[in-house]
Amino acid sequence: MFGLETKAQEWHRDLTTLCAFFLSSAVFRRCGLAILKRSLHIALAVLLIFSYSTTAQQQTQDVPSAKTIIAHRGASAYAPENTLPAFRLAFEMGADFIEYDVQVTKDKQLVILHDQTLERTTNVEEIFPARSRIAAGDKSEKKHWYVYDFTLAEIKKLDAGSWAGAKFRGTSVPTFRETLDFARGRAGHLIELKVPDEYNARGVDMERLTLAELKRYYRATPKSQKGSPIIIQSFSARSLQKIAAELKSPLPLHLLTTADDKPGWLTREGLAKVKSFCVGISPHRESVIRNPDIITWAHELGLQVTPYTFTTIKSQEPQLLRAEMLRFLYTLKADGVITDNPDLAVEARTKSVSVFIAPSPSSR
């Protein structure tokens, strides 16, 4: 920046001298105003170029650090959550990461599904009407179709798209492997392990299964993730501690926290504990609204902060959601946002950067 300023000053001085030379010399007397006007136009153009370059350099240095846009279950405001169409749309909208949930089937295959049960997002009731059951201890006595009661082959028979619209009819529940392949080189992966403690209690080592699949696809170390970095997150601190300490995975980990944060992770003391096994936190946005200092405290410890979930699905107007994400990213200083609407988040990021790099009125 300072080099450009000095250079512009030198050019200004030299061009001023040149103009004086023209006015006082025989050249001006012989050639008259035509040459002088042309010379002055050139001089003015050069000065403007240097002036704009100096201003742009200064403003570019003030641009905020890059913010990460994470598509929650894909672009789930517009396509069925946790499906390849939702992931494809997220890529097209410019998301940096796709966030998705991992569950385990009866035959210990990893599939992408948010709920432990299948009925909300598939037609399992139609295909397997007699396979529901009431979970032990469930006081509601409501019947459910649990993921871990079905094999992968059976789950692949289900329609996971029609509930979101006729154009998605026939969309299947993707496997973890299919998702890794589909996103390779197109976006990063924010992988949430769903209820790993419950799976462990059933004798299913969800953490080992996940890492084994990542190793199979050469994604178990940070150096092997060009174009598709991996982050694992979970609400289970025990599960993340197991991955870091017992399984000694070098992959970055984020701790998810609920809106009420009953365990107290979002205090200064709690965050210091999180730092011992994670590189970041994904707090509920309401937690940050109540106490914006959470982001400051986390950053003081070197923890990244990616709040969730920003969405229009619950009737929030697009312009209000865009403004809210802009506030979280650039006023509260979150490192990224997890959103059902990656297009609006990308617009918010682009709008912010354009404000910082646009030439000021005085430089136009």
Positions marked active-site:
72, 114
Amino acid at 67: K
Query: ∠308-310-314 over CA atoms, to 5°?
Result: 120
DSSP 244: I
Residue for token digits 């179709």? Answer: 145
Query: Measuring CA to CA, which residue among 55, 57, 93 is closest to residue 72?
Result: 93
Contacts of 6 (CB under 8 A, 6+ apart): none
What is the spatial distance between Cα 159 and Cα 100, in angstroms, rounded to a whole number? 18
Cα–Cα distance, 141 to 135 (Å, whole number): 8
244 Cβ neighbours under 8 A, 6+ residues apart: 253, 277, 278
d(CA 288, CA 320): 17
Q: With CA atoms as reference, report the closest residue to 334 among 305, 310, 354, 359.
A: 305
Whose CA is closest to 342, among 78, 102, 101?
78
